[in-house]
A and B are shown apart, each in its own frame.
Chain A
Amino acid sequence: MTVYLFRRLIQAAGVVLAMSIIVFIGVYAIGDPVEILISPEADQYERERAVKALGLDLPLWQQYLAFLGKALQGDLGRSFVFNEPALKLILQRMPATLELAIGATVAALLIGIPLGLYAGLKPDSPLSKGIMAGSILGFSLPTFWVGLMLILVFAVQLGWLPSTGRGETVEVLGMRWSFLTRDGLAHMVMPAINLSLFKISLVIRLTRAGVRETMLMDYVKFARAKGLSPRRVIMVHVFKNILVPVVTVVGLEFGGTIAFSVVTESIFAWPGMGKLIIDSINVLDRPVIVAYLMIIVLMFIVINLVVDLTYSMLDPRVRLEAKGT
């Protein structure tokens, strides 16, 4: 176990390092942040001053080494745009994104698994067919369109929910959370649903496929033959076995939701990390882009780790040591 964790950590460091080099070269290739940030009326002297102030006058490899040296001391640089530490900017916005992603994932599991189970157990009932048809919509409707439709129906027309923003927040552990207030929750409903539609469909389909496959397995037949109640057969024998793929996919999706919920965040003006990263890319705010991607890489590694650990709990046949490559 320890060896396994250690190996994973080394891997993580390698990925982060490679990623930071790619971002440095990438941003350098796209353009010059100063050209974008500087006021158009700035003269040549002012342009040179700005380039120097942001440390962009040095050769790229020197800029990179300087960054690396500071990063080893925990300083990921200051944002070109905000003149605040990049890490602080990201962490400030992280709770907003986290609560949205968790809300969306919980909704996906709570809605997706029961519906998927039903559709898998009674594949021929009209309701199941309806569920499956609905899940196709969930896959295929673009998020930005669904988001705007939600706003128009529930905020503009019916006036039930606030259209955009985060609402009232409560400070816990030095971070601001909105799921603890009624107003905050009201603001969260639509973006969370918008974000979870795709996931709900995914969970429904995975669960249904798993159930249909598992129901034909010998051990299920045997359990039924043994006279166990259908409830016990489904909840213990079937359910536990379909969870492995569901956990894998939901875990990875969760990472994706945190990292790339850009569209939902901009439509609902949700002040999370997704908006920060897209704004930063538009103005080539390199310190923020690098820091953000570093955090995301770390997060994916942690999620994968958690997923692997969950496997071993769900399925005793999975041995962690054997997989650690």
Chain B
Amino acid sequence: MKSTVRAAGLAAAFAMAATAGPASAQPSAQAPALTMAVAAPVTSIDPHYHQLSPNNAVADMIFDRLVGTDAQSRPIPGLATEWRAVEPNVWEFKLRPGVRFHNGNEFTAEDVAFTLERVPNVPNSPSSFAIFTRPIRAVEIVDPLTIRMRTEGPYPLMPLDMTSIRVLDKETHQGAATEDFNSGRVAVGTGPYRMVTHRNGDRIEFERNDAYWGDKPAYARVTYRMITNDAARTAALLAGDVDFIDQVATSDVAKLRNEQRVALSEVTGLRIIYLSLDHLRADASPFVADNDGKPIARNPLKDARVRRALSLAIDRPAIVERVMEGAATPAGQFFPPGVFSYVPELTPPKPDPDAARRLLAEAGFPQGFRLTLHGPNDRYINDSRIIQAVGQMWTRIGVRTAIEAQPWSTFVARAGRQEFSAFLIGWGSNPEGSHPLRNLIATWDRERGWGASNRGRYSNPEIDRMIEAAMGELDDAKREKLLQDTQRRAFEDVAIIPLHIQTNIWAMRRGIQHTARNDELTRAQDVRPAAASAGTR
């Protein structure tokens, strides 16, 4: 039902918006108050309770991290001014002097130690941040402004992990429960905004922290509303009820570009949409059959030539153009250019149905076979339409593909049990190659904690060894080289079939400027009044 609501709503929205005259009075561009509307509800103010993008965005407004990230997700100094590995397995962070929490308490190394201790111990957490603190074996306070973290072996990812941990105040938050954050009693951080009120699922109100150590945000008061319906969010912007919205629906983008009162900001994100194939079974795969509908004794998807054929059959630019309405970039690897460990020559494969048919014939399937492609229908942008397009492209090379889209709640459980032969899924990466490699490509290994999201169960000992080598390399340049080699190897073997990387799009009333972030976070400190003449684009 949801998609129907969306589709019909938008058609209506634009029929009217096109003729809409000036709406309610527009506040002046210099107004100190900002009303934002976001699509995804914030589930908690406790920054260590649930690892979820909307929660992290709000946490970024109230709290700070030791290591911050810029709009391109590159590490920048946060509560720590500098960091280095003083020994191969010891990281040292120098803390920023003179920082105070909203209640006036001073920020010291004690608070960092307390935070690292609290993170794994938040009761009832459905997705804890402990994955970022687990490599730490011991924490050592050298002086009030220096802290050291000892790990088992060399661990180059420590600064990156610290970009996910928001620092709390030992004095205030000792024994604080998640509910106390939600009620506002202990929603106290060092961040650029203080929380004033929080109404679960409705809105959060903030006021500027004028004592903030970093760049002062432009708006003194911020209302952060949650409007989950895409059409309603766009309408709220057009009606002037909100100044700024996130997750603009792809079907709205073209129309909003022509809308005089609205400006857009966009950036290529870090979320890749890809197809995962059944690597687990060497014998019959559940949704693969020969042309008569009988199971095939050996799983064709185990053959790299078949996988390459399936990848070559896909016309990525067409999907981006037609299905995504331009709001994506065709992908041949995990990252867009400019991200650490991007591989320059791994461009998206050019669609080549003839070569694909030849590869199929070489692999012993000159007549192709039958396949069912699964996917969610309520999770990623246009997900069910993407698999329809892919299904048609595969059918064209002789792999007669049936499509089955289902709600995420059912889909993800089945995908996690390896019930599918081929399915569409997405992955939002940290900007460092080891992150997707370790989670999506590495062999599923409970002890190591690797391959947890490797739902196709791809397994290649050579790649595992390459990842391991990269994970032990502290030198960034050397590690980048190792990660690039590993990715080359993985994509040569078509471990997964990348489709595209989504574009993150925000829309705002003209007169407002926004720094688009590739990590999708919608934060008030990234918004400011536009300079007198400059547009947002």
Contacts and interface: CB of A to CB of B under 8 A. Distances in A.
B13 interface: yes
B183 to A, nearest CB: 9
A53 B17 contact: no
B28 interface: no
Interface stretch (B142-150, B448-456, B469-477, B512-520): B448-456
A157 B23 contact: yes
Contact of B238 (A46, A145, A156, A176): A156
Contact of B123 (A53, A142, A155, A268): A53
Given A37-B50, A44-B446, A164-B241, A156 B16 contact: yes
B409 A40 contact: no
Contact of A271 (B202, B416, B446): B202
Given A44-B449, A54-B124, A155-B241, A164 B202 contact: no
A165 interface: yes
B23 A53 contact: no
A86 B152 CA distance: 41
B338 interface: no
B126 A53 contact: yes
B16 A166 contact: no
Contact of A83 (B179, B229, B444): B179
A282 to B, nearest CB: 6
B235 A148 contact: yes
B44 A82 contact: yes
A92 B445 CA distance: 43
Q: Which of A33, A54, A267, A284 has the most CB of B within 10 A?
A: A267
Given A30-B409, A46-B128, A81-B126, A155 B200 contact: no
Contact of A78 (B124, B238, B239): B124
B232 interface: yes
Contact of A40 (B44, B238, B427): B427
A213 interface: no
A195 to B, nearest CB: 15
A280 B50 CA distance: 15
A148 B178 CA distance: 36
Given A45-B446, A148-B232, A32 B20 contact: no
B297 interface: no
Contacts of A242: none
A82 B124 CA distance: 10
Contacts of B41: 279
Interface residues of B, number: 74
B325 interface: no
Nearest to B428: A40
B260 to A, nearest CB: 14
Categorize the interface residue count of chain A: 35 or more
Interface in A247-296: 263, 266-269, 271, 275-276, 279, 281-284
Interface stretch (B4-12, B110-118, B185-193, B497-505): B4-12
A84 B179 contact: yes
Interface stretch (B65-73, B220-228, B394-402): B220-228
A36 B232 contact: no
A92 B200 contact: yes
B240 A159 contact: yes
A170 to B, nearest CB: 14
B378 interface: yes
Interface string A128-157: 000000000000001011001101110111
Interface string B414-443: 101000000000011010000100010000
Contact of A153 (B16, B24, B240, B241): B16
Contacts of B532: none
Nearest to B199: A271
Q: Which of A34, A82, A163 has the most CB of B within 10 A?
A: A163
Interface in B180-230: 182, 199-203, 225-229
Contacts, number: 210
A32 B413 contact: yes
A43 B413 contact: no
A148 B131 contact: no
A275 B49 CA distance: 22
Interface string B21-45: 1111000000000000100010110
Given A81-B43, A81-B50, A276-B201, A50 B127 contact: yes
Contact of A32 (B200, B228, B416, B445): B416
A145 B7 CA distance: 10
B125 interface: yes
A83 B127 CA distance: 12
Nearest to B5: A144
Given A43-B452, A157-B16, A162 B125 contact: no
Contact of A84 (B182, B239, B408, B410): B182
A41 B239 contact: no
Interface string A22-37: 0000000011111111
Contact of B20 (A33, A42, A156): A156
A83 B450 contact: no
B126 A89 contact: no
A267 B412 contact: no
Nearest to A263: B5
Q: Which of B51, B235, B416, B427 has the most CB of A within 10 A?
A: B235
Nearest to B223: A165
B412 A35 contact: yes
Contacts of B412: 31, 35-36
Contact of B239 (A82, A163, A269, A284): A163
B231 A156 contact: no
Interface in B217-266: 225-229, 231-232, 235-236, 238-241
22 contacts: A32-B416, A41-B452, A42-B127, A43-B131, A43-B452, A44-B444, A44-B445, A46-B127, A53-B126, A54-B126, A83-B179, A84-B200, A148-B231, A156-B235, A159-B22, A162-B241, A163-B236, A164-B225, A266-B228, A267-B231, A269-B37, A269-B228
Given A54-B124, A83-B44, 18 more contacts: A30-B413, A31-B410, A31-B414, A35-B416, A40-B439, A44-B446, A49-B128, A53-B123, A81-B50, A89-B200, A142-B8, A155-B235, A155-B239, A156-B238, A159-B24, A165-B202, A176-B199, A284-B409
Interface of B: 4-5, 8-9, 12-13, 16-17, 19-24, 37, 41, 43-44, 46, 49-52, 123-128, 130-131, 134, 178-179, 182, 199-203, 225-229, 231-232, 235-236, 238-241, 378, 407-410, 412-414, 416, 427-428, 430, 435, 439, 444-446, 449-450, 452-453
Interface of A: 30-47, 49-50, 53-54, 78, 80-84, 89, 92-93, 142, 144-145, 148-149, 151-153, 155-157, 159, 162-166, 176, 263, 266-269, 271, 275-276, 279, 281-284
